[in-house]
Structure formats: structure tokens, C-alpha cells
Amino acid sequence: YAEPSKSFGERFPALVTGFFFFMWYFLNVIFNILNKKVYNYFPYPYFVSVIHLLVGVVYCLVSWTVGLPQRAPINKELLVILTPVAFCHALGHVMSNVSFATVAVSFTHTIKALEPFFNAAASQFVLGHQIPLSLWLSLAPVVIGVSMASLTELSFNWTGFISAMISNIAFTYRSIYSKKAMTGMDSTNVYAYTSIIALLFCIPPAVLIEGPQLMQYGFKAAIAKVGLFKFLSDLFWIGMFYHLYNQLATNTLERVAPLTHAVGNVLKRVFVIGFSIVVFGNYFTASFHDLCADIHPEFCSNIRFSWQAQFLRPSSFVAYQYYCSHKETRILDRKPSII
């Protein structure tokens, strides 16, 4: 009797999981760059959140129609489990977009790096899982680092900060309850149903909060700036990349524990912050640089005296000089260091 040959995924599970992580990171970087570019000329986060989900829902319906993947049937029990998942997904998504629209991409992701802390807290105090002291201590540098970054962030405002914190809490509960739903359904179908239900949650606030502004001048202003074709294509692509990166994130969650997934989320934000610095000309404050120097002095010594003009657009540098000359800050009198 010959044993059936194992699939590639069964033979190399760690390699497959690593590939899921990589694709999740890669697609998320593209999404964040495109998303922020849209907000630069179309600052309507509630409506954009609806577009993200709407494109994904259309993608899911087309995929189900062609049988890739096969649509899993849903019953009342699964619907009860998925509804709070979808609500948390909708809330976290909208609040993330509000934050992206009001502060720098790098700052939003700095705040959202606290997600493992919220995940550990929810695991211990909500689910009753005992989290070891060593893990709590390992999260302390993250909490301290985010606090220091918030105190010295040039683009800081309370709307962006509070929105990012709410999204942390919402996404923590989404991860926990999504994992429960995966016991009765595969991760691809779980995210498809989650997107459909979340879309229903997102439409009412978008219509009530931004509907009148959009109809009066929002759409007209965006089309006047970039043209109808680019406006529509930008909305389509940010929706597509949003769905794909979240689909990969859900597939990854199926393979790892929620806390491991949250830690992976932090590493993902390092990639996003780095690319946002290069693309949008964001810069590090001196205190952030000093915090990095405490962690890795040799690395930071290589970037401490990097000239901003080598990396940033002239307009960004002029804006920085204007900011420092017209507003009191605690930044040292030296050019900002960037990667």
C-alpha cells in the first residue's frame, strides 16, 4: 500500500506561511501608497471605505460565479458569529481611513503598532488566556515608542490619533472572532462574507456624514483635479488592493495564532512606514531617531546626518522649514534624519 504523496504545502508549511506573510506585506504597501495619493485630492474617508469594500464584494461575487473558490453555504449559526466580526471590520476599516486622511501614513501605522498589546489584553481579560509576564514586558518598548512618537509627531492631531486607536481595538476583536468562524468555514469564504456584511454597516454613515458634501462639490473637485478616468481607476485599484491584502491577511490568520498574526502586523508596518517615507517625503523627528539609536546605534549612525534633499521633494523640505519657523516644537536644530 503506497502512501499518497504530500502536497507542497504539507511538506513545507513554514515556507507557505512565509509566502502568505510576504504577499500580505507587499500588497499592503501598494495599497497604502495608492490610498494616501487618493486622499491627497479626495479627502472623504467614509466614502472611500465603502468603495474599498464594494470593489471587494464585486470581486467575491465574480469569484464565486466562476467557482474560484467554491462558495461555502452559510447558516444562522455562522451568520451570528460573522456579524460581530463584520462590524469590527467595518469600524476598524473606517477609523483607519479617517486616520489616514488626517495624518501622515507613517504616524497612523506607528499608532497601529500597538495592536499586539490590545490583542494580548483581549486574550487575557476577555478570553481568559493567561499571557506570560515575559510577553507583557516584550510589549513595553512598543508602547513607550508609540508614546514618544505621538508626542513629537509633526502631523499629530487628535482625530487621527483616536481613530487609529479605535481601529486597533476593533481589529483585535475581529481577529479573535474571525479565528472562531474559521472552524466552520475556510478563510477565503470567511473574509468574503465578512466584506459583504461590513459593506452594509459602512454605507449609512458614509451617506449621512459625507453624502451632502460629495454631491455638492466633492466629486466635482476630484474630477477637476485629476480627470474622470483617473479618479475612477484610482478608486477601483485601491479597492482591489485593499481586498487582496486583507484576503491574504485572513489566509495568514488561518495558519497562525491571533497574537502571532498581530506581531506580524507590526512588522508589516515597518515596511509601510519605510515606503511612505520614500514616496511621500515624511521624515523622522529627532526624538524618534534617538529612540532608534538606543535600539541599534550602528544602524542609526549611518542615517543620522543624511541630507533630506537627497530623498524628499523640494516642496516637502520647504514645508518642514516653514513649520519649524512658525510653530514651537521640541525638535532639535538639525535636519531630520530619514531612511
DSSP state letters, 98-142:
HHHHHS-HHHHHHHHTTHHHHHHHHHHHTS-PPPPHHHHHHHHHH
For the stretch 260-312, pLDDT in tens is: 777 787 777 777 777 766 766 655 554 444 444 443 444 344 433 333 333 33
Asked whether residue 281 falls in the same domain as residue 297, the answer is no
219, pLDDT greater than 60: yes
For the stretch 307-339, pLDDT in tens is: 333 333 333 333 434 334 444 333 333 333 333
Asked whether residue 78 falls in the same domain as residue 134, the answer is yes
Asked whether residue 305 falls in the same domain as residue 241, the answer is no
Q: Which of 160-169, 204-213, 254-263, 300-309 is predicted most confidently?
A: 204-213
Residue 2 lies inside a defined structural domain of this protein: no
Residue 310 lies inside a defined structural domain of this protein: yes
Asked whether residue 183 falls in the same domain as residue 320, the answer is no
Asked whether residue 268 falls in the same domain as residue 176, the answer is yes
| Segment 117-130 mean pLDDT | 79
Cβ atoms 250, 20 nearer than 8 A: no
Residue 171 lies inside a defined structural domain of this protein: yes
Distance CA(336)–CA(339), nearest Å, equals: 10
Of 285, 301, 330, which closes a domain?
A: 285
Residue 208 lies inside a defined structural domain of this protein: yes
Asked whether residue 296 falls in the same domain as residue 163, the answer is no
Lowest mean pLDDT among 25-39, 77-91, 224-238, 262-276: 262-276
Question: How confident is the prediction for the chain on average, in pLDDT?
Answer: 78
Asked whether residue 265 falls in the same domain as residue 122, the answer is yes
The angle formed by the CA atoms of residues 304, 309 and 313, to the nearest 5 degrees, is 125
Residue 225 lies inside a defined structural domain of this protein: yes
For the stretch 6-29, pLDDT in tens is: 777 677 888 989 999 999 999 988
Lowest mean pLDDT among 43-47, 183-187, 193-197, 242-246: 183-187
Distance CA(46)–CA(107), nearest Å, equals: 20
Asked whether residue 100 falls in the same domain as residue 48, the answer is yes
Model pLDDT, residue 49: 96
Cell numbers for 40: 491627497
Model pLDDT, residue 282: 57
Number of domains comprising the chain: 2
Model pLDDT, residue 139: 76
Lowest mean pLDDT among 38-52, 162-176, 188-202, 251-265: 251-265
Spacing of C-alpha 334 from chain mean position: 31
Asked whether residue 278 falls in the same domain as residue 299, the answer is no
Residue 188 lies inside a defined structural domain of this protein: yes
What range does the domain containing 307 cover? 288-338
Asked whether residue 215 falls in the same domain as residue 115, the answer is yes
Cell numbers for 4: 499518497
Asked whether residue 174 falls in the same domain as residue 296, the answer is no
- Using the 8-state DSSP alphabet, how is residue 68 labeled? S
Q: How many residues does the chain have?
A: 339
Residue 325 lies inside a defined structural domain of this protein: yes
Residue 12 lies inside a defined structural domain of this protein: no
| Segment 117-122 mean pLDDT | 82
- 273-309: burial string, b at 16+ Cβ within 10 Å, e else: bebbbeebbbbbbbbbbbbbbeeeeeebeeebeeebe
pLDDT band at 92 (very low <50, low <70, confident <90, very high): very high
Asked whether residue 33 falls in the same domain as residue 137, the answer is yes
Q: Is the peptide bond before 336 cis (omega within 30 degrees of 0)?
A: no
The angle formed by the CA atoms of residues 195, 244 and 280, to the nearest 5 degrees, is 110
pLDDT band at 53 (very low <50, low <70, confident <90, very high): very high
